[in-house]
Structure 1
């Protein structure tokens, strides 16, 4: 195994590189399998062919269509953000819609619906491309 930061060979059970002090797996400059320099942003090593990043499993991807439609129709309650794993934002939308809606005679609920509608359209248009964990949305 090789350090991703400096390319130095390290033991398989090492926690840090003894040459540069960086934790194992941190860095993008060298291949962890063969130790050769890698191009910035490369997904696989051109020398040995090993993946430099973990490929995204289709089972973990959320549907762009589902998220967009949830945003358009139930966006005021933040349902689309719960679906995408953006829990804090979803809770704010839900609480403002329910509690603020009662206190402002529905005005806050209307504002949250507009917010949800805009986010739903942005998801469908491709402006929002990742879920709360940074996993790309599938078409």
Structure 2
């Protein structure tokens, strides 16, 4: 039998440090999301790719449908309108500060403009 007093084991380094939350994106990821969404909106705005990238599936499907279906029946007028909407949204995304973009489009989930 041991004569040493029972002492609880000291916590390891993983037990003392809080683990980062997987839902909280790092500030650099937010900046990248803003930049990528803005460039996608400017270059491929009529297809709604930037909406899909930001997680707005319904709005992305609307833009894609207007471009492909309405644009086909109107000789490209629908696609042109969606292209202009995408261009405007891309400019808006890129001119916002990172905090404004995150609050409005990532956290606040504002789907249009």
- TM-score > 0.5 by shorter chain: yes
Of 82, 87, 92, which residue of structure 1 is paired with 2:57?
Answer: 87
Whether 2:76 is the aligned partner of 1:134: answer no
Could you tell me which residue of structure 2 aligns to residue 6 of structure 1? none
Could you tell me which residue of structure 2 aligns to residue 105 of structure 1? 75
Q: Using the TM superposition, give the Cα deviation of residue 56 of structure 1 relative to its aligned residue in structure 2, in angstroms.
A: 2.6
Could you tell me which residue of structure 1 aligns to residue 48 of structure 2? 78
Structure 1 segments, 4+ long, off by >4 Å, are: none
Could you tell me which residue of structure 1 aligns to residue 8 of structure 2? none
Count, aligned residues: 83
For residues 82-110 of structure 1, what are the alpha-carbon distances to aligned partners after superposition, in whole Å with 9 as ceiling and x for unaligned? 00001111110000000011010100000
Equivalent residue runs for 1:1-139 within 5 Å: 56-58=24-26, 61=30, 63-126=33-96, 129-130=101-102, 134=107
Listed as ranges, the gaps of 5+ residues in structure 2 are 1-22
RCO greater where, 1 or 2, for CA within 8 Å and sep 6 or more? Answer: 2
Listed as ranges, the gaps of 5+ residues in structure 1 are 1-54
Indicate the structure with greater helix content.
2
RMSD value, Cα: 2.9
